[in-house]
Structure 1
Amino acid sequence: MARTAATVAIVIISLLHQGVSLDIVLKDLVVPEQAKRFTNVTLECIYESRMKPIFVKWLHNDLEFLKFQPKDPVDPINLFTDDSSLVVNANETTGNKVVLTEVDLSASGNYTCEVMGESPNFHEDKMTKVMTVVEIPDEKPTIEGDVRDHFAVGDTVNLTCTTPPSFPGATLSWFINEHEAPHDFLHKYAPEKSKDGLIVSRLSLNFKLAPSHFIGGELRLKCVASILTLYTKTSEHSQQASSKPEEPPIKEVRNLPEEGSLITIGNSGCFSVWASFLHIVVMHTVLIISAHLLH
C-alpha cells in the first residue's frame, strides 16, 4: 500500500508540474542586438498561455519601465518614468510589444520581459537580451602625419590613423603591403570621448623602412576601421621608392700658384683655357700700348 501511495503521489506531482509548465511559457524575446541612434525600436515578448496572464513586465537594466495588465479594462498599460533614457510610444505599444521612440546611446543595455500566469499556480517566466545603440559614421578614417609621395630605405614612417566620432569606438588596424603591422610598430592612444558620448579612436604606425618593405618599388600602407559588424572602412596611402639623392662632387681647390702659372679646380680644364686666353690678350694689349708710346 505504501508503495502504491508513493507512486500515485509521484504521478500527481508530475501532472501538477505539467499543468504549471502549460500555464504560461515564454517562448522568445525579440530584441535587436544593435539599433542605430535616433531610430525607433520594436521589442516583442512572445509567450504561450491557456488564459490571459496577470501581467507582463518590461525592465531596462533591472529598472521597470512598463507593466501590462490585460484584465484591467480601464488602464491596462502603465508606464513608469523612472528610466529617463527611454521614450515609449504608447499609441503603438500593446504590452507584449513595446515601441521605443528615437533611442539614444543611454538606451543600450539589458531588456527583460517577465510574465506571470493565473492562479492557482501564478507561474512566472522571464527572458533577458542585450541591445546596443550605435552611432555609425559615414566617413572613412583619415591618415595624418609625414605623408610623402616618395620614401627611401632608411627613412622613418610616422603616420596616425583617426576615426570619425562613433559609438562604440572603432577598432583600428594597420597593414603594410596587405600584411598586418607588427605590434611593436604601433602606438594606441586612449579613446577620446565627446560630451554626447561619441568616441574618437587613434592608432599610429612608426617604423624604419627596409628594402623588404618595397614590393616592385612601391610601399602600400592601409588603415582599417571597424565597428561590430555594421561598419568597415579603409584608408590607403601608397608611396614610391626613391634612392637617396647623390651629393654633388666636392671641387678640389689647390694651393695658389706662383705668378705666371695657372689655377686648376677639380678635374675641369675650362678654367685653364680661359686663363691662358686672358694671359695672351693682356700681353697683346701691353705690346700695342708700348708701341704707341714709342711713336
Structure 2
Amino acid sequence: MLGRSGKNEKYRREDTELTGDCWHTFPGDSNAQGVDLSLGQPYIQLGSAMDAQVHKVLLPQPGVVGQSAQLECVWAAGSQGFYSVRWYKNGEQFYSFVPKNSPQVKVDHKLEGVSVELEQSDERVVTLRELRMDSGGNYKCEVMSEAPTFKSSFKSENMTVIVLPKAPELSGLQNRRPYRVSDQLNVTCTARDASPPAKLTFYLDDQPFGPSSTRVTELRTERGSYPGVYTSRTRLVVPLSSSMVPSLNVKCVSDVERLKDKVEVRIDVEENTGIGSFFYSGGSRLTPCLVTLVLALAAPAALATVPRCPS
C-alpha cells in the first residue's frame, strides 16, 4: 500500500519476504532521482551506498550431529550503519543482535533444534552448540539499515546435518593361520548408525573395490540402533594370488557426505608349497586312488602296495 510521509515523500511497501519494511526506490544507480508523485518534483533517491548489504551466508557443509557449527554472515553496513542483524531457520527467528537494545544486545530466541552460544556470537558470526538431527534447514541472515531507511537485506543457504557412523568394522578374517595363495579372502565391512547411510569401499593395498566391482556385494541397509540412522554392510570376496605374498593390507573406508573414516588390517599371505599345499589346493577333487598314489610317491617303500588306478 502506498502512503504519504511529507513534502519530499518516500513510498513504502510491505514485503512478505522481509521482516521489516523496505523503502520503495526507483531503478538506477545511487545518484538517480525519483519523482514525488504528489508534487511532480524530483527528490534525491536514498541509494544503496547508504544501506546495509548482505553479500553471502557461509555455513558448514555439512553440519555434523554432536558438533558445534559457526554460521557467518558477510555484509557491509553502508554509510548509515546498521540497526539490527537477525538470523532465521526455516523462516523462524532464532537469534538477534541489536546494538541499541542494551544491555540485552544478543538474544537467543530458543528455537527448537537450534541452541546459540551467545558468548561466541556477534553481529558477524553465530555459533550453535551441539547440532541435532533436526538442526538442518534453510538459514537466513537479515541485516537492517539504520534510520532513516531501515531497509533490509538478506541472503540464505541450506545446511544439511548428518550423523557420522561409528568406526567401520571388518569381520570374516581368519586368525588361526596365514592365508595361502588360492585361498578366498571373504571379508565384510560394517558401518553402524549413520545418516544418510554410509557408502563403503574396500582397498587391497592401493587397489579400490567399490560397489561397481564384481567382487563386491552390497548387503541390505538396515535400521540403526535409534530412529533416523542406518547400518550399511558390504562384502568382498577375492581369490588370493602370488602377487599378494608376503602380506596384504585390507582396508575399508566409510563415506558420509565426503566425511570419511576407515579401518584396516594387514594379513599374511604364503605361497603354497609341498604336498600339504597339493592336498589343500585340490584335495576336494582327489579320488581315494590318487590320494594313495601321491602318498606312495612320497614314501618309496610303499610302492609295492600301490594299487593300479583305473584309467
Question: Do they fold alike, i.e. is TM over 0.5?
Answer: yes
Please point out which of 32, 40, 52 is paired with 1:12. 32
* Greater helix proportion: 1
Do the aligned partners of residues 130 and 159 (structure 1) sit closer, same or farther apart at CA in structure 2, a change above 3 Å counting?
Answer: same
Q: Which amino acid aligns with 1:249?
A: V
CA RMSD of aligned residues (A): 3.9
Give a deviation string over 1:170-216, Cα, whole Å, max 9, x none.
33112345322362221223254331644432211135x37xx4305
The answer to whether the 8 A contact 2:108-2:115 is kept is no
Structure 1 residue 51 and structure 2 residue 71: aligned? no
Give a deviation string over 1:81-135, Cα, whole Å, max 9, x none.
4x31112234554454433223223323432211222455443322224445555
Do the aligned partners of residues 177 and 70 (structure 1) sit closer, same or farther apart at CA in structure 2, a change above 3 Å counting?
Answer: closer
> Matches of 1:69 and 1:216 in 2, distance apart?
66
* TM-score between the two structures when normalised by the length of structure 2: 0.60
Q: Which runs of 5+ in 2 are unaligned?
A: 1-27, 35-42, 294-301, 306-311
Which position in structure 2 is the counterpart of 1:205? 236
Structure 1 residue 187 and structure 2 residue 217: aligned? yes
Q: Which amino acid aligns with 2:236?
A: L
Structure 1 residue 268 and structure 2 residue 304: aligned? yes
* TM-score between the two structures when normalised by the length of structure 1: 0.63
Q: Which amino acid aligns with 2:225?
A: S
Give a deviation string over 1:143-166, Cα, whole Å, max 9, x none.
21263632453x544321112544
Please point out which of 150, 159, 173 is paired with 2:179. 150
> Matches of 2:130 and 2:155 in 1, distance apart?
24
Do the aligned partners of residues 229 and 17 (structure 1) sit closer, same or farther apart at CA in structure 2, a change above 3 Å counting?
Answer: farther
Instruction: State how 1:60-71 maps to structure 2 within 5 Å.
Output: 60-71=89-100
The answer to whether the 8 A contact 2:170-2:263 is kept is no
Query: What secondary structure is seen at the aligned counterpart in 2 of 1:250?
Result: helix
Which position in structure 2 is the counterpart of 1:250? 292
Q: Which runs of 5+ in 1 are unaligned?
A: 1-8, 252-265, 270-295
Do the aligned partners of residues 12 and 36 (structure 1) sit closer, same or farther apart at CA in structure 2, a change above 3 Å counting?
Answer: closer
Q: Which amino acid aligns with 2:143?
A: V
Please point out which of 88, 100, 114 is paired with 1:86. 114
Which position in structure 2 is the counterpart of 1:287? none
The answer to whether the 8 A contact 2:162-2:196 is kept is yes
> Matches of 1:22 and 1:146 in 2, distance apart?
69
> Matches of 1:61 and 1:244 in 2, distance apart?
69
Identity rate, percent: 22
* Greater strand proportion: 2
Which position in structure 1 is the counterpart of 2:263? 234
Q: Which of 1 and 2 has greater Rg?
A: 1
> Matches of 1:165 and 1:27 in 2, distance apart?
38
Do the aligned partners of residues 79 and 216 (structure 1) sit closer, same or farther apart at CA in structure 2, a change above 3 Å counting?
Answer: closer
